[in-house]
Structure 1
Amino acid sequence: MKILMDKDLDDSGLMAIAIDALETAFHARAANRLISPPRHHVSFADRGDLVFTVGGILGEKPLAGFRVYDTFDGAEHAQIVAVWSADDARLKGIVLGSRLGSLRTGAIGGLAIRHLGAPDAKIVGIIGSGAQARTQLAAAAAVCNLDRARVYSRDEKNRAAFAREMQLALGLEVEPVGSVSKAVVDADIVICATTSQTPVLHVGDLKAGAHVNTVGPKTLHGYELGLDVADAAAVIATDSPEQARAYASPFFLAGSGTDGRLVDLADIIAGKAAGRASPEEITLFCSVGLAGTEVVVAAAVLDRVGDGCGL
C-alpha cells in the first residue's frame, strides 16, 4: 500500500494522467458503470461538517474508494482519499492533502475543453488567480497546443505572481492584464475561477467560438457569469446535472429559460448528446466537481507515482 502527500504530487505530468483517467470515468458514467452517489454531510454542532464522497468504476478492473474532508473553522483543512482494488479487496493506497482535489477539478475542466473547445484553440483568458485558476490553466495546456494566456484578478500583485508562476511551470507566455475584457477579448478558451457573487463576464466580452469553463457551484444567491452567456451558448454542459440541482439554493440558471438545456458532459463524451457543431458556436461548461471522481484520479496517481511511503 502507498501513502502519498501533497509533496508527492508535484509531477507536472500528473495533469495529463488525471484527464485521461477521467475520460475513462466519464465513459463509464455514460454507460452506468461509474459509482458516484451524492455527497454525505455529517454535522458537528457549532463546528462544521465532515463531508464524505464515495466513488468507483465497475468493469474489468473495478475500483472503489472514498474521500473525506472537513468544513471546520481554522486555517488548516485535511483531506483523505482511499482507494481499493474492488476485485481482490486490496487497498491500493491513501492520498492525504488538498492537491489531489485541485488536480481532479482541473482535470474535469480539461476534459470539458477537450470535448467542447475549438480543436485549434491557442489563447486562454483567465479570470481569477487562485489555486483553481492554476489547475484549470494547467489542464487547458495539457489538452491544447496553446500560444499564450492572459490573466485578470482584482489584486494586481496576485495576478502578476500567477503569471510568473504559470509561465515558468508551463513554458507558456502568461500576461497579467488590468481588466476582464483585456483578458478574454480574443480568447478561444475562457476560464472563470473567482469567488464573485455578481457577474464579471458577459457575452459581449467573448469572441465568436469561445468556450467558457466555470468552477464550483453557481446558485441564484450568487454567480460570476452573466446569464447572457448561457443564453448565447449553443451547448451548456455540466459534470453532474443531478448535483447542480441538488444544492440548497437553486442552480443559477433556474427559471432563466436555459436550465432545460443543461447536458451531462459524459453524454457528450460518449456521443449520446450533441457537442460543438461549428467553429462559431459559444459553449459553456459549469463544473460542480462530480462526487466520487477523486477516487478515479487517486487510483491513476497511485499507479504513476513511485513507491511513496509504503506500509
Structure 2
Amino acid sequence: MSSEAPIFIGTEVVERVLTWKELVEALRAAYTLDHDEHISPPRTFARGDGASLRALVSVPPGKRFMGAKVFGRGRNQGMNYLISLVEQDTGEIRALLDGNKITAYRTAATSALAVDCLAPHRPLRLGVLGSGAEARAHVQAIGALRKVESLQVYSPTAANRERFARDFEASLGVPCRAVSSAASAMDGVDVGIAAARSRDETPILHADDLHPGMVVVSVGSTLPQQRELDASVIAQCDLIVCDTPDEVVSQSGDMLGARAKGIEFDAKVLSLNRLVRGEIGKDAKLPLFKSVGSALQDIVAAELVYELAIREGFATGLPISFTYKQ
C-alpha cells in the first residue's frame, strides 16, 4: 500500500484556506446525490462519571474519503474536535484535522445551502436571533451566496446586538440595525435565523413572530434538553426540511416539545437531500430548515480543506504510521 504519511491540519489552516462559496458548492454536490440511511448513521453518545464522548461517521457518496468526527466534553466542560479522513478505496487513514472551525463552517454553510434552495431569488432581508459565533457565521455564509438587502438582529444584551449590527453594516455595506425584541427582528424579513438558545431553554421564537413567505432557519436545539423554537412554530410551518430527519425528530428538544403538546408534524418533515435534488420546496408557504448537524457535512468539509491545504502547501506531515491490515 501507499507509504504516504498521514497529515495534520490545524484550525489556522482551516481559516486560511476555506471559503464559504466553495464549501456550499461542495455540500450542494454531496446532497445532490441520492442518500440512504447507511451513509451517515445516527451519532453515538457515551456518558460516564461527568464526562461524555460523541462520535459521528459518514461515507459520503462520490467522495474520496470517508471519516469520523469525535469530540468529548470533559468534566471541566472543555472539549476538542478530531476529524479523521480515511481513503474509501483502501481504508488508509490519510489525515487528522482539528474539527472545531470545520464544525462551525459546515453548520452555517449547510443552512446557506437550504436558504438558497428555499428563499426568493432576489436580495434578501435577514432577521437574526443571536449575536454569537453561530449567528455571525450564518450571516457570512448567506451573504457569500446571496445579496443581502438589510439585516435586523436581536439578542438579550444590547451591547452585543449593537456591535453585531455595526460589524455587518461595515462588512456587507447595507443597513443593519439592532432591535429590542425577537418579534422586531423577524418583522418583514425573507429569512429568519434562530442561532441562540435562551439560557433557561425557554423558546425564543414563536409563531406570532412569523409571516407567510419567509424562510425560518433553526440550529440551536440539537439535544432533547435544548429549546429554541416554540411548539407553535412547528405547528405553523408547512414544510420542515431537516439535514438528518430521524435525529431532528427524535433528539431535538423543539420537536420533542411539539410532540408532547400533541402537534403532528411527521408528514411535513422531509430531507435536505430531497430539497437540494429539487423534489420538494417549490410550493412551501412557510418553510423551516431544522439542523442538528451531520457527519456527512463534516467529512465533505474536511475533504475540501484537505484538498486546499495540500494545494497551498499548508498541511503538516506527521512522523507516524499506522499498521495496515488486509
> TM-score w.r.t. structure 2 length?
0.84
**Mind listing any 5+ residue stretches in structure 2 that lack a counterpart?**
1-5, 318-326
Q: Among residues 56, 61, 65, which one is paired with 1:58 in the alignment?
A: 61
Is this contact kept in 2: 1:126–1:152, CA < 8 A? yes
1:308 aligns with 2:307: no
Residues 84-140 of structure 1: per-residue CA shift (max 9 Å, x gap): 232245544322151110111111111110111222242100001111111111121
- Change in Cα spacing, 1:116 to 1:248, as seen in structure 2 (3 Å) is closer
Structure of larger gyration radius: 2
Distance (Å, rounded) in 2 between the aligned partners of 1:88 and 1:166: 45
Separation of aligned partners in 2, 1:31 and 1:114: 20
Partner of 1:271: 278
Contact map agreement 1:38 1:291 (CA 8 A) in 2: no
The answer (yes or no) to whether the contact 1:64–1:86 under 8 Å persists in 2 is: yes
RMSD: 2.5
Q: What aligned pairs does 1:258-297 form with structure 2 within 5 A after superposition?
A: 258-272=265-279, 274-277=280-283, 281-297=285-301
In 2: Cα distance, 1:302 partner to 1:173 partner? 37
- Paired position in structure 1 for 2:44: 40
My pick for the range that moved more, 89-98 or 259-268, is 89-98
% same residue: 26
Q: Which amino acid aligns with 2:152?
A: R
Where does residue 176 of structure 1 map in the other structure?
A: 178
One-letter code aligned to 1:262 = V
For 2:148 and 2:24, the matched residues in 1 are separated by: 17
The answer on whether the counterparts of 2:130 and 2:196 sit within 8 Å (CA) in structure 1 is: yes
1:49 is aligned, of 35, 49, 52, to 52
Q: CA deviation at 1:216?
A: 3.6
Distance 1:37 1:144 in 2: 32
| Deviation of 1:146 (Å) | 0.8
Question: How do 1:186-197 and structure 2 match up within 5 A?
Answer: 186-196=188-198, 197=201
What is the Cα deviation at residue 75 of structure 1?
5.7
CA distance in 2, matches of 1:156, 1:198: 19
Task: Report the CA distance between 1:167 and its aligned residue.
Answer: 4.0
Moved more, 259-268 or 197-206: 197-206
Question: What does residue 3 of structure 1 align with?
Answer: 8
Gaps of at least 5 residues in structure 1 are: none
Kindly indicate whether the alpha-carbon contact (under 8 Å) linking 2:220 and 2:228 is maintained by their aligned counterparts in 1: no
1:237-272 per-position Cα deviation (integer Å, ceiling 9, x unaligned)? 111111123339663332302233211111122133
Letter aligned with residue 190 of structure 1: G
Q: 2:117 maps to which residue?
A: 115
Please give the TM-score of this superposition, normalised by the length of structure 1.
0.87
> Kindly tell me: are residues 188 and 79 of structure 1, through their superposed partners in 2, closer, same or farther at Cα, counting changes over 3 Å?
same
Q: Distance in 2 between matches of 1:146 and 1:12?
A: 24
